[in-house]
């Protein structure tokens, strides 16, 4: 009995929120502010960070393994004589083949 009442309240709340008029500018500012605070859109995908270093770049590659509930990190070096975009493409290909 209490579960049915609770479900009705949740459905009513969602319908009220769904039907309330929202301006597009509010939606854009809300989504922009949440991204600018450093929140990730998807925590289960691949993430990488490029760090500038002497003689090239260091790419930090992070993935989440749901089987072990662990984040895996790998560091890769991209020398300054190699094209940065090509180096990133090679690293992503290598990491995808490891899966």
Tens of pLDDT, residues 25-82: 444 444 444 444 555 555 567 788 999 999 999 999 888 877 888 888 899 999 999 9
Give the span between the Cα atoms of 61 and 97, in whole angstroms.
Answer: 14
Which is higher by pLDDT, 61 or 2? Answer: 61
Q: What is the pLDDT of residue 17?
A: 63
Cβ–Cβ under 8 Å, residues 48 and 59:
yes
Whether residue 22 is predicted with pLDDT greater than 70 in this model: the reply is no
The model carries a pTM of: 0.53
- The residues, any chain, with a CB within 8 Å of residue 64's CB and separated by 6 or more, are 43, 44, 45, 70, 71, 72
For the segment 80-96, what is each residue's pLDDT rounded down to a tens digit?
999 999 999 999 899 88
Whether residue 23 is predicted with pLDDT greater than 50 in this model: the reply is no
Confidence of residue 1 (pLDDT cuts 50, 70, 90): low
Q: What is the pLDDT of residue 47?
A: 85
Domain boundaries, the chain: 2-36, 47-98
């Amino acid at each position: 009995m209490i579960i049915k009442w609770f479900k009705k309240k949740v459905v009513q709340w969602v319908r009220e929120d769904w039907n309330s008029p929202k301006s597009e500018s509010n939606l854009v500012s809300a989504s922009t502010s949440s991204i600018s605070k450093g929140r990730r859109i998807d925590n289960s995908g691949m993430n990488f960070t490029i760090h500038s270093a002497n003689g090239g770049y260091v790419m930090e590659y992070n993935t989440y393994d749901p089987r072990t509930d662990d984040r895996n990190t790998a560091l890769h070096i991209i020398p300054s004589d190699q094209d940065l975009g090509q180096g990133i493409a090679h690293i992503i290909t290598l990491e995808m083949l490891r899966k």
